[in-house]
Amino acid sequence: MVRLAAVCGVILLLVACAGDTHLTFLDPQGPIAHQQRWHFYWVLAVMAVLVAGPIFVLLPYWAWRYRYGNKSSTYKPNWDFSRLLEIMAWGGPIIIVAILGFFVWHDSHKLDPYKPIVSKQAPLRVEVIGYDWKWLFIYPDQGIASIGTLAMPVGRPVSLHITSATVMQSLFIPALGSQIYAMGGMVSQLNLEASKPGKSLGENTMYNGNGFHQQKFTALAMSPADFKAWVIKVGATGIVLDAQTLKLIARRSTRSDLIAALPKATSMRGNVYFTGVGKTLFPAVVKATMDGTKTLPNTVFASASAATTPAKRNSGAVTEPSQ
Amino acid sequence: MSIVADSGGPFLGRLSLHSLPFWDMLQHPTMSNIINGIIATGAASLVVIGALVVIALLTKYKLWRPLWSDWVTSTDHKKIGIMYIVIALVMLTRALIEAVLMRAQQAVGLHGGFLSPDHFAQLFSTHGTIMIFFMAMPFLTGVINYVMPMQIGARDVSFPVLNSISLGLTAAGAALVMVSLVIGKFSTGGWFGYPPYTEATFSPGVGPDYWIWALSLAGLASTLTGINFAVTIYKERAPGMKLMRMPLFTWTALCTAILMIFAMPPLTVATSQLALDRYLGFHYFTNALGGNMMNFANLFWLFGHPEVYILILPAFGVYSEVIATFSGKALFGYRSLVMATMAIAILSFTVWLHHFFTMGQNANINAVFGIASMLIGIPTGVKIYDWMLTMFRGRVRFTTPMVYSIGFILLFVLGGMSGILLANPTIDYQVHNTVFLVAHFHNVAVPGVLFGMLTAYHFWFPKAFGFRLNERWGIISALCWIFGFMGAFFPLYALGIMGLPRRTVAYAQARYVPLEWVAFLGALLLLAALLALLWQLWISIRDRDANRVFVGDPWDGRSLEWSNSAPPPEYNFAVIPSVQGRDAFTMAKENHSAYERPDTYKDIELPKNSAMGLVIAALGFALAFGLVWHIWWLVIAALLAVIASMIVRGFARDTTRLVSAQEVRREHHRWIDAVAAATAVSRANECKTVNVGLAQHQANGVVP
Ligand code: HEM
Ligand SMILES: [Cu+2]
């Protein structure tokens, strides 16, 4: 118990003096992580009081009281059954599990990552492709894409559709909410929302080779106005995502290797931005991975001209039907 | 030269100079290549030098013959058990050193460190694979082998030669993992080797093949062992040993055996399918052409979850025996404990999905499996309460096994709690695949499985070798394990909550550094614990004559394995005991029917030695090695030889030998004379040299 408290203390301490990147759901930046924290503390508290408490008190006490050297305590070498104690031994855990089971059922549904977040605003759609060892975030409704930063407006749900162009990966932004696997030829979903501006750690948690530990990104929550500006900036400065560029992205390399390999390295503080990203790119990558074909049809790459008029495509609220 | 360096041609398959650990370093002497090359070469040299030293010692002391006739060809379950445990200890040493290396790397892992990512990945993959398949499994198989037949009053297991073959297959698998240090590289896909990462497209080298065939050998060995144990418990019990009179350890052995029989096939299927993908271009788990890795995840964990109960149940059995014995009291709630064990065994097949809550299935499925996982907490809780109630109103002696047991209960409760946290899909979404998970499974694997096996080692060592282990160093080692564990793994809970993924070679968050250092120091303490354990063994062997317990009952034991001499005769019992109730030996001591001289003795039939185990081990190794390196002639030759050897064995008729009644009588009387000459000791003196293995009688309510 003391130890447990100490561990929790250490956690809190470290979280309290956290740097500028939010690392953990104990320092939540959105409603999902917030509820997860609550659930975590609740389960921990129930168990600390009902499970660990009695055992950590009784076991040392009994071991000491009934130690060999203590001749004054009761000794009943053949006493091996008591109906009452047996009922308690089974009943206690059953009650605890029943309480916790209720929470599991309730919260699994409430916090199902596939469940759209209820909001007045339509969700921002983002399509995520996991490459070795970088994530490509496509904003299909804005015609832009980014490697290194997942930008999102505060207060508006984000609906992520996720796939992998290589091996299994797992997309995770602890301070915002759940993680979900990215698998080749399949699309998984994750719904998140940021409630305050700030940077959160984003990562892949499923080992996928040498650059695994460098497959990080920043989840950047900003005010709606800033987000608008960001979209325009990306549209204006991004490079065109053509077949050649996508080939470079698909190579097994880290983000910094990619930046070094790009002919016109338009990297903004370690990020790479793209314009002219068509809506059909994501489904095409899913299908190509499923079919095992290396090249995508040319039609999925929007013409370069689209890239020059990003402002038209930017969005505060999406007008297209989403999903 | 260049041909040799690139490929071995038809004769050597994929073998070439590139397969040697120092080749890269010589070809491309960059700083990182040199450091990693030196570590890898050092490890390889340790393996080679270790083997050479063993060979030299065997030759010097002329031990080849006894090694052959007393050990490797032996079909005695006790010898086989001991050999299993030797394998486990060797592999434990390797895997622990690897763990310390990983902790050292992570301690300095802010933006770099000294290990290359590839090297680090091999370390966690071999560490995990070894700890599960070549440390924990052989250890528990060895302990069950040694103890269970004696607990049920049998002379041996049902199929002694099969037992030896299982040992051989396990050894071959372990050897394959060891050889991967010297020739080629091991997998980097972790202990569960998820495709498509482990498919040929992404991991073209020999690594995953080493992993696949090592697991196949180990898995086959465990299946055979499971069958052997289950049949033994069903068929070989002494008269009167009803199921509900069996010691709890035997019950857990039975449950584990059943789990082995049912859980291993999914693993074998999954790894075989992966092998078909890799070798013949099938598409079971590829991204393309209809493959789907989710099938692998399902099959693997359909094995994987029961597997963790295969590991933990025997440990529960050990703790049950130890806590009752050292509390001087009957096990509390025997019936409940049996039911709880069975419940765990069955439930363990219903929860595998909790290993991939994050794969995208819907909330109903996750919730059902989350609740099912929590249900296992119920019987586990019952066990903990029953152990505590066993101590309640007892006379608890804080010997080494008891220190482990108390450390186990307290730490295991924490591990169970973090398990319940993980069983909440909602929370799992946050800590899955982080080092929080690593902390959780080590929190059950180390205090549960590893401590359990070390407890068994301390508890039954005097029985197996006839002398007690040094108590002082036992306690020192136990405390180092306990505190080392806390230091090494509690920080990982916090780090996991701070978002550190498992299998991370380096990181960019300075905030991780202090906790990483604590974990590293904890790991060093664990290494010290292992050294203390080896030191204890050394000085115990040195002082063995002072600590003999030939009479055989150093701890005032309760079950039949304490009712014979230490070490026991090859046939275990001069006369098969007839069992009157639970705690058979305690009853015998109370009725003064222990240590009797029977009127008549009979000839005893024992299985003859057999070289089958060794033959299958060698051929199994050759087959696997050939498969790994694509040396097809070796594969075909080994396969044919396996079939041939089994046919030849099928014609063997003269497979048993007799120990004559006179010899049994002579040995038995020698022992009974020693019993008669011995002074019984009180429990206060059980760790002193006066303890020759005869316990003072415990009269009702009065402690001896
Ligand atoms: C005794 C001290 C031990 C230490 C210091 C230790 C340390 C470690 C470390 C550092 C890792 C890598 C964690 C990561 O991925 O970030 C690891 C992984 C692992 N360990 Fe241990 N370990 C110990 C004992 C055990 C035992 C007893 C078992 C099992 C019976 C075990 C099974 C595993 C497994 C299965 C993995 C996962 C490998 C993978 O990622 O595929 N370890 N351990
Ligand atoms: Cu499990």
CATH number of the domain encompassing residue B78? 1.20.210.10
User: Does residue B139 sit in the same domain as residue B28?
Assistant: no
Supply the range of the domain harboring residue B213: 63-610+655-685
Q: Is the CB of B20 under 6 A from ligand 1?
A: no
Residue B31 is assigned to a structural domain of this protein: yes
Final residue of a structural domain among B37, B62, B87: B62
Nearest CA in chain A to B429: A178
Position B236 pLDDT exceeds 70 = yes
Does residue B522 share a domain with residue B483? yes
Q: Which amino acid is at B227?
A: I
- Is 60 exceeded by the pLDDT of residue A3? no
Give dist(CA A268, CA A111) in Å, integer: 35
- For residue B233, give Cα distances in angstroms to B257, B262, B408, B541, B650: 10, 17, 28, 33, 25
- Please name the residue whose Cα sits nearest to atom 20 of ligand 1: B128
Q: A39 to chain B, minimum CA–CA distance in Å?
A: 7
User: Where residue A303 falls among pLDDT bands split at 50, 70, 90?
Assistant: low
Q: Domain count for chain B, please give it.
A: 2
Beta bridge partners of A301: A277
Distance of CA B305 from the midpoint of ligand 2 (Å): 4
Q: Assess B298–A contact: CB distance below 8 Å, yes or no.
A: no
Helices B117-129 and B160-182 sit at what angle, rounded to 10 degrees?
Answer: 170
To the nearest whole Å, the CA of B156 is away from the closest chain A CA by 31
Nearest CA in chain B to A287: B288
Sequence spans of domains, chain A: 2-66+77-110, 124-313
Residue B573 pLDDT > 90 = yes
A26-68 pLDDT per residue, tens: 999 999 999 999 999 999 999 999 999 999 999 999 999 999 9
Do residue B42 and residue B82 come from a single domain? no
Q: Are residue B184 and residue B145 in the same domain, yes or no?
A: yes
B471, B401 contact by CB (below 8 A): no
Q: Is the CB of B446 under 6 A from ligand 1?
A: yes
B103: Cβ below 6 Å to ligand 1?
A: yes
Q: Is B591 part of any domain? A: yes
**Is the predicted pLDDT of residue B450 greater than 80, yes or no?**
yes
Read off the pLDDT band of A322 (50, 70, 90). Answer: very low
Within a domain: residue B271?
Answer: yes
Residue B626: inside a domain, yes or no?
no
CA of B442 to the centre of ligand 1 (A): 7
| Structure confidence at residue A17 (pLDDT) | 47
Average pLDDT estimate for B395-415: 96
Q: Ligand 1, closest atom to CA B519?
A: 5
DSSP strand pairing (B656-659 vs A158-164) = unpaired
Minimum-distance ligand to the CA of B487? 1
The residue of A166, A179, A287 whose CB has the most chain B CBs within 10 angstroms, and thus the best one to mutate to test that interface, is: A179
Q: Which of B18, B45, B62 is the last residue of a domain?
A: B62
The residue with tokens 């209820």 is A118
Contact of B333 with B389, CB cutoff 8 Å: yes
Q: Are B205 and B130 in contact (CB under 8 A)?
A: no
Residues B15 and B119 in one domain: no
Choose the final residue of a domain: B62, B82, B113: B62
Q: Please check whether residue B699 lies inside any domain of the structure.
A: no
Residue carrying the six token digits 């319940």: B420
Share of chain B above pLDDT 70, in %: 98
Which token pair is B593? 């029917």
The confidence band for B1, taking pLDDT boundaries of 50, 70 and 90, is: very low
Q: Is B497 on the interface with A (CB under 8 A)?
A: yes
Same domain as B148, residue B29: no
Contact A75 B494 (CB under 8 A): no
Q: What is the pLDDT at residue B22?
A: 83
User: Would you say the CB of residue B437 lies under 6 angstroms from ligand 1?
Assistant: no
Element (DSSP H or E) covering residue A248: helix A243-250
Q: Is B616 a domain residue?
A: no
Contact A180 B358 (CB under 8 A): yes
| Residues around ligand 2, an ion, CB closer than 5 A | B 305
Which tokens sit at B563? 């009712």
Of A56, A80, A289, the CB nearest to B331: A80
Give this prediction's pTM: 0.93
Amino acid A314: pLDDT: 37
pLDDT for the residue numbered B9: 67
Is there a single domain that holds both residue B560 and residue B439?
yes
Task: Report pLDDT for A292.
Answer: 87
CA B505/CA B121 separation, integer angstroms: 8
Tell if the CB–CB gap between B360 and A59 is shorter than 8 Å. no
Q: Which sign, positive or negative, has the C-alpha torsion B478, B480, B482, B488?
A: negative
How far does the CA of residue A24 sit from the closest CA of chain B (Å)?
5
Which residues fall within 8 angstroms of residue A252, CB to CB, at 6 or more apart? A132, A133, A166, A209, A211
State whether the beta carbon of B115 lies less than 6 angstroms from ligand 1. no
Nearest CA in chain A to B514: A14
Q: Could you tell me if B110 and B28 lie in one domain? A: no
Using a CB-CB distance cutoff of 8 angstroms, which residues of chain A are in contact with residue B485? Answer: none
| Distant-in-sequence, close-in-space partners of B351: CB < 8 Å, separation ≥ 6 | B305, B369, B372, B373, B376
Type of residue numbered B656:
T
Q: Is residue B627 part of a domain?
A: no
| pLDDT at residue number A295 | 80
Instruction: Pick the ligand that lies closest to the CA of residue B126.
Output: 1
Ligand 1 contacts CB of residue B131 (under 6 A): yes
Token pair, residue A127, equals: 């399509």
Same domain, B103 and B128: yes
For chain A, the maximum distance between any two Cα atoms, rounded to a whole number of angstroms, is 92
Over the stretch A80-123, which tens digit does the pLDDT of each residue have?
999 999 999 999 999 999 999 999 999 999 999 999 999 999 99
| Cβ distance of B332 and A79 shorter than 8 Å | yes
Could you give the CA distance from residue B347 to residue B352 in angstroms, rounded to a whole number? 10
Are A93 and B294 within 8 A, CB to CB?
no
Say which of B391, B427, B698 has its CB closest to residue A63: B391
Mutate to test the interface with B, among A7, A27, A104 (most CBs of B within 10 A): A104
| Other CB atoms within 10 Å distance of the CB of residue B652 | 11
The answer to whether the bond into B196 is cis (omega within 30° of 0) is: yes
Specify whether domain A124-313 bears CATH 2.60.40.420. yes
- Judge if B140 and B218 occupy the same domain: yes
Say if strands A124-131 and A158-164 run parallel, antiparallel, or are unpaired.
parallel
Single-letter residue type at B386: D
Measured between beta carbons, the chain A residues lying within 8 angstroms of B353 are none
Q: Is the pLDDT of residue B25 over 60?
A: yes
- Across the interface, which of B292, B327, B378 has its CB nearest the CB of A93? B378
User: Would you tell me which residues 453-492 of chain B have a C-beta closer than 8 angstroms to some C-beta of chain A?
Assistant: 486, 490-491
Instruction: Decide if A68 and B684 are in contact by the 8 Å CB cutoff.
Output: yes
User: Interior CA angle at B606 toward B601 and B611, to 5°?
Assistant: 160
Whole-number average pLDDT of chain B: 93
Whole-angstrom Cα distance, residue B623 to residue B19? 19
Q: Are residues B295 and B316 in the same domain?
A: yes
Is residue B691 in some structural domain?
no
Cα A8 to averaged position of ligand 2 atoms, centre (Å) = 25
